Amino acid sequence: MKRVLLSLAIAFFATTMIFAQKAQETVLKFDKQEISGYTISFSELPVETVVAAIDEKMQKAVGKKPSSQKGYNVYINQKFSEFGTESYDIYYKVEERGKRDMKNVTIDFFVCKGNLNAISSTTDPVVTERILIFLTGLKDHSINYHTNQQIIALNNKLIKARVESKAYSEKMSKLQKEMNALELKKKELDEEIKKMEEELNSKKQ
């Protein structure tokens, strides 16, 4: 149980050490063409965790699962209140990039108003600012999701440890009762043997 509590403390400390770059505007490649978009990268999180966290947030916001195009998750013609009152086409993907000891998780993200007409700071600075704020929120959501998943996993380990500890205590209690019963039986047998020896000695006399 002490190991479980130590693991929980280590997990919490590790989460506070996650480093992230600021979300920024960039040029992305989609279907062999360059398109205005946005990106953010951060370290110390498994790519699978980030994918799960973002999928959860997007599906909750849109109300359905995305389709897939050219390696991107895609929502076509969807209302998205965090960007504005219009309907948008939203494209995003999560990848692990970098060398083995220097890997980062990167989110590539772009938003269009139909026909791959991508939003940029030039075409729509207000929505661009909202997208950058949203991406920063995705980073924070991923960190919180990661922390919650670790807490859930460690809590399950703690529950299991408590169950095993209780089972061990019950087993020890049962063994102790059996030991006490055997000791009592041995005492009774010793007394019976002693009595038989006394009777045998009495007959010899």
Residue 92's Cα: distance from chain center in Å?
21
Inform me whether the pLDDT recorded for 95 exceeds 50. yes
pLDDT bracket for residue 16 (50, 70, 90): very low
Task: Please report the pLDDT score of residue 3 as a whole number.
Answer: 52
* pTM for this predicted structure: 0.68
Q: CB-based contacts of 14: which residues, under 8 Å, 6+ apart?
A: 44
The C-alpha atoms of residue 15 and residue 42 are separated, in whole angstroms, by: 12
How confident is the model over 87-115, as a mean pLDDT? 90
**pLDDT tier for residue 21 given thresholds of 50, 70 and 90:** low
Q: What are phi and psi of 97, to 5 degrees?
A: -130, 160
Helix H or strand E encompassing 30: strand 24-30
Neighbours of 120 (CB within 10 A): 18
> CB neighbours of 107 closer than 8 A, spacing ≥ 6?
39, 40, 41, 50, 54, 92, 93, 94, 135, 138, 139
Torsion of CA 133, 106, 45, 104, to 10 degrees: -130
Cβ atoms 15, 146 nearer than 8 A: yes
Percent of the chain scored above 70 by pLDDT?
A: 88
Confidence of residue 169 (pLDDT cuts 50, 70, 90): confident
